Amino acid sequence: DRQVYTFGGGVKHDDPRAKDKVITGGKGANLAEMAGIGLPVPPGFTITTEECVKYLAEGGDFSDQLRADVAEALTHIETTVGKTFGNPADPLLVSVRSGARVSMPGMMDTVLNLGLNDETVEGLAATSGDDRFAWDSYRRFVQMYSDVVLGVEHHLFEEALEIAKEDNGYLNDVEMSADDWRRIVKEYKGIVSAELGREFPQDVHEQLWGAIQAVFDSWDSDRAKVYRRLNDIPGDWGTAVNVQAMVFGNMGDTSATGVAFTRDPATGEKAYYGEWLVNAQGEDVVAGIRTPQYLTRAARERAGAKPLSMEEAMPEAYAELAAVFELLEKHYRDMQDIEFTVQQNKLWMLQTRSGKRTAKAALKMAVDMVEEGLIDEATAIKRVDPMALDQLLHPTLDPKAPRDVLGKGLPASPGAASGVIVLDADTAEKRAEMGEAVVLVRVETSPEDIHGMHAAKGILTARGGMTSHAAVVARGMGRPCVSGASGLSIDMKSRTLRMGTRELKEGDLITLDGATGEIMAGEVPTIEPELAGDFATLMEWADRHRRMKVRTNAETPADCRMARQFGAEGIGLCRTEHMFFDAGRISAVRQMILAEDEAGRRAALAKLLPEQRADFQAIFEVMAGLPVTIRLLDPPLHEFLPHGDAEFAELSETIGIGVDTLKRRADELHEFNPMLGHRGCRLGITFPEIYEMQARAIFEAACDVAAASGEAIVPEVMIPLVATRRELQILKKVVDDAAAKVFAEQGRTLDYLVGTMIELPRAALMAGEIAEEAKFFSFGTNDLTQTTLGVSRDDAARFLSPYVEKGIYPRDPFVSLDIEGVGQLVQLGAERGRATYAGIKLGICGEHGGDPASIAFCETVGLDYVSASPYRVPIARLAAAQAAL
């Protein structure tokens, strides 16, 4: 296979490798493509990524074959341009740029103006008729080459230039004359020989091979490695090298350089968008030395800016550029991000690629392009990153607003929230009732904080990971949350908190960015989400293309309603324990837990029955016609216990049992490892009357709502933390008996299903047997991850990020399913369950049900549905469609 591909100057390749990003990199492939469709591309050649991989693996010298191929390709440039590399009379200059398979902005190296030396600079001066331009180009080259290829520190050159300007009393580079630049070049070369003990290379071929080598080496630079890790880019791809004839945007006022997008990358609007600078080279736009100008007249007028747009200042070159925009969009069928140069009124294209865009712009462009007939629905669905929808569903911080960042935690639940700091749930509720916007700040949250979390605009915790209580509950409620902010300490005595060096007190304003995890002092302005229009259109398309259903994890009527608005097709998980914390009923719950015997428990449960029935009625009403999975009580009982003397005294008063007795019972309930303790179905096995009450409440509510609404209500009763078939068998009987009793009393029956969560490894392994008792499985991948990895979901935040940084797990396994490991258990559970009962309904209700990569996996396993927190429902709809396409 060839390792060097030429482009421009009318070359035609039959070899598909020339335009294959994998081989010639993104930049090289697109340059070849642009040249192929007849666009003005300066001629050049690309050395493949394969050559880079080989070079990095074998090290040492380049092969004779490569040297011969490069020499031949260089001749191609020379004949096309009519100049010769190294010719003192009329030299060819080239740029040398990296170009990986995907763009890694600014991560690797570029050298411009290569081919200049003490002789060719004179030739450039003569042919361009511009001494100053030639010497400025030479000094730019010496500086760039020395920095990138020779490893001489950049600042040494900057300092020399600063001193020269000072000595001359200049403020700006433009004041430098040809002679000034000539002196600077001399000084720069002196710096190089002083630093390296050898002269700056005058041989242009040595320059070229040095630059090629530097580009290859830059693939393994520290910053490139970090970038790859952050963006999941494999280290074995390598980069291509693009060598291309230089064109100059800095040849006076008929020359210019710029970057442009074929549509607005921020809003998606179909309008050219870009910046340009007259008489400048590419780095000048990027480096921000001069302020770039607007590309179009409309944009300039809208901004009320004075300096002429390119459309006005260079109408001909602009018209040519606009025609190129149209052509490129039609060709690539996507918004393009373009770099161009105008050399003495002649337009040259230096790069094109699919442009990065905001979520809003992605959505608008995808929908617009389908309407324009540019792409089909399936392509539109694939174009939008599901996670980016998050940005659209919540109010977000105004990106233009200044931020006074105090610290950072995990981006546990998206959206932006500003409010006064409050340090406990009761205060949060009180101050919110007074109409204040509050942000609840806790070391960590527990189920008892729910009312405060609900009252708060946002939640910040010092501990806990992405599936900590705070994170799960906040996502469910759609509250922005930053969790595990390890730099945060709270002093409850003085009611102050400390972040880094800053101290704040309760009542001070802060702002959370749940999308980035940033915590800011004061209030940062926000912008509201837009759910109609393009969003609704794309969602409708997604629904047409997906196979899996999307349900929601919700337990309040308000959340259920919101989830339905977001398109939820049922409830996949209603966690009943959250209902036990309501102010009106917690004392009955405590009475039940602390009771000495079954009779005592039953007395307390009788008080809870009407409350639970009302809970379920409200949910069935909102979800009428849709499946509702209700999970019976799951958490360890001691989570509901009173805290502190005051609460014990209050409870003692309410239920008429002495404080000492209560405290003794509470002590008896203490567990060393409650997450593996007396929880889940183990509660049902030991205290069946609890599940009996819950089942009765479910069936009574279902009968009531079915009678009143005429809709079919099909409750799905779910037993948590099952490990064995026998557990499920015993508890299924409790549920069936309750159903039979209620149906007899009410004189009506309805369909219902009893099923189980698969959230322990044993349950997945024994799924074949368990399926004999279950009508459905719901994979509880939070606990399944916790128990398979042996990693506590509530403590993971402290050590999991180094794990991810070191690549031990590719991503936080509580956020994105460990497909390799935990995924096997899901796969196995599904297969074994289906082998026993082909019609078994399979779903997932762990946090992974809202994660696109995990959803794609669920599609491959053939699950019937995923269930996600309400705000994740649209994300899941889109991800499920992408997975099915």
Residues numbered 339 to 378 that lie near ligand PEP (CB under 6 A) are none
DSSP H helical ranges for 82-203: 120-128, 131-148, 154-168, 178-196
- Position 176, amino acid: M
Min separation Cβ 814 and Mg ion, Å:
12
Of 290-309, binders to ligand PEP (CB under 6 A) are none
Question: Any idea what DSSP says for residue 48?
Answer: -
Length of the chain: 885
Name the percent of the chain in helix, strand, coil, to the closest 5: 50, 15, 35
CA 801 to chain centre: 16
Between 99 and 680, whose beta carbon lies closer to Mg ion?
680
Spatial distance between the Cα atoms of 377 and 750, rounded to a whole number of angstroms:
41
The smaller minimum CB distance to ligand PEP, of residues 3 and 694, is found at 694
How far is Cα 87 from Cα 696, in angstroms, rounded to an integer?
93
Find the binding residues for ligand PEP in span 534-593 (CB under 6 A): 573, 575
Candidates 51, 704, 727, 783; binder of Mg ion (CB under 5 A) is 783
- List the interface residues with ligand PEP, window 596-635 (CB under 6 A): 634
Residues in 30-89 at the binding interface with ligand PEP, rule: CB under 6 A: none
Beta carbon of residue 514, minimum distance to ligand PEP (angstroms, whole number): 19
Please state the closest distance from residue 755 (CB atom) to ligand PEP, in A: 13
What number of CA atoms fall less than 13 Å from residue 638's CA on the CB side?
15
Contact status, residue 550 vs residue 868, Cβ threshold 8 Å: yes
Exposure string over 594-614, b if 16+ CB within 10 A, otherwise e = bbeeeebbbebbebbbebbbe
- Least separation in angstroms between residue 490's CB and Mg ion is 28
Neighbours of 195 (CB within 10 A): 14
Residues between 46 and 65 with contacts to Mg ion, criterion CB under 5 A: none
Q: What is the dihedral of CA 18, 22, 28, 33, to 10 degrees?
A: 50
Burial (CB count <10 Å: 0-12, 13-18, 19+), residue 436? middle
Which range in 3-11, 38-46, 543-551, 780-788 contacts Mg ion by CB under 5 A?
780-788
The beta-carbon contacts of 325-333 under 8 Å, at least 24 apart in sequence, are 325/260, 325/262, 325/272, 327/37, 327/39, 328/34, 328/39, 328/262, 328/352, 329/262, 329/374, 330/374, 331/33, 331/37, 333/369, 333/374, 333/375, 333/379
Q: Minimum distance from CB of 411 to ligand PEP (Å)?
A: 19
Contact of residue 846 among Mg ion, ligand PEP, none (CB under 5-8 Å per partner type): ligand PEP
Of 765-824, which residues contact ligand PEP (CB under 6 A)?
780-783
Site size for ligand PEP, by CB under 6 A? 10
Find the shortest distance in angstroms from Cβ 267 to ligand PEP. 38
Report how many residues bind Mg ion under the rule CB under 5 A.
Answer: 3
**Contact code string over 122-161 relative to Mg ion, x by CB under 5 A:** ----------------------------------------
Q: Which is nearer to ligand PEP, 485 or 866 (CB)?
A: 866
CB of 759 to ligand PEP, least distance (A): 5
Exposed e or buried b for every residue in 60-76, given b needs 16+ CB within 10 A?
eebeeebeebbeebbeb
Q: How far is the CB of 720 from ligand PEP (least distance, A)?
A: 7
Q: Give me the 733-762 binding string for Mg ion, x by CB under 5 A, dash otherwise.
A: --------------------------x---
For helices 725-746 and 688-709, what crossing angle results, to 10°?
Answer: 40
Judged by beta carbon distances under 5 to 8 A according to partner kind, the member of ligand PEP, Mg ion, none in contact with residue 571 is none
How many whole angstroms separate alpha carbon 175 and alpha carbon 164?
11
Q: Are 783 and 792 in contact (CB under 8 A)?
A: no
Shortest gap between Cβ of 578 and ligand PEP (angstroms)?
Answer: 9
Q: What's the rounded Cα separation, in Å, for the pair 819 and 825?
A: 9
Phi/psi-derived region of residue 239, left when phi > 0, alpha when psi is between -120 and 50, beta in every other case: beta
Residue 621 interface partner, choices ligand PEP, Mg ion, none, CB cut-off 5-8 Å depending on type: none
Instruction: Select the residue interacting with ligand PEP from 759, 818, 851, 859 (CB under 6 A).
Output: 759
CB burial string 774-795: b at 16+ within 10 A, e below: bbbbbbbbbbbbbbbbebebee
Report the residue number, 204 or 573, with the smaller CB distance to ligand PEP.
573
Whichever of 396 and 553 has its CB closer to ligand PEP, that residue is: 553
> Which of 467/556 has CB closer to Mg ion?
467
Nearest approach, Cβ of residue 751 and Mg ion (Å): 26
Nearest to 843 by CA among 725, 755, 723: 755
Q: Tell me the two tokens of residue 548.
A: 């899996």
Which of ligand PEP, Mg ion, none lies near 816, with the C-beta cut-off 5 to 8 A by kind? none
Known catalytic residues are 469, 845
* 780 near Mg ion (CB under 5 A): yes
Beta strands in 24-109 (DSSP E): 44-47, 84-85, 91-92, 94-100
Shortest Å distance, C-beta 454 to ligand PEP: 18
Q: 573 contacts which partner out of ligand PEP, Mg ion, none, CB within 5 to 8 A by kind? A: ligand PEP
For residue 465, the minimal CB distance to ligand PEP (Å) is: 13
Q: Which does 679 bind (CB under 5 to 8 A by kind): Mg ion, ligand PEP, none?
A: none
Between residues 620 and 779, which has the closer beta carbon with respect to Mg ion?
779
Residues between 630 and 649 that touch ligand PEP (CB under 6 A)? 634
Interaction partner, residue 575 (Mg ion, ligand PEP, none; CB < 5-8 Å by kind): ligand PEP
Contact window for Mg ion (CB under 5 A) among 36-44, 640-648, 762-770, 773-781:
773-781
Residue 716 binds which entry of ligand PEP, Mg ion, none, with Cβ cut-offs from 5 to 8 Å by kind? none
Q: Is 199 exposed, middle or buried (0-12, 13-18, 19+ CB in 10 A)?
A: exposed
Distances (CA, A) of 869 to 32, 66, 570, 574, 872: 46, 56, 12, 11, 5
Give the residue with the Cβ less far from ligand PEP, 260 or 722.
722
**CB-count exposure of residue 646 (10 Å: 0-12, 13-18, 19+):** exposed
Helices and strands (H and E) in the chain: how many? 35, 33
**Degrees, nearest 5: CA angle 313-316-319:** 105
Q: Compute CA distances 455 → 42, 148, 424, 474, 510, whole Å.
A: 62, 55, 11, 11, 16
Complete DSSP assignment for 522-552: S---EE----SHHHHHHHHHHHHH--SEEEE
Q: Which of 342, 477, 845, 878 binds ligand PEP (CB under 6 A)?
A: 845
Q: CB of residue 813 vs ligand PEP: minimum separation in angstroms? A: 12
The SS3 call for residue 471 is helix
Q: Decide whether 185 or 845 has the Cβ nearer to ligand PEP.
A: 845
For ligand PEP, the closer of residues 512 and 845 by Cβ is: 845
> Cβ atoms within 10 A of the Cβ of 163, count?
11
Q: What residues line the site for ligand PEP (CB under 6 A)?
A: 573, 575, 634, 759, 780-783, 845-846
Residues in touch with Mg ion (CB under 5 A): 759, 780, 783
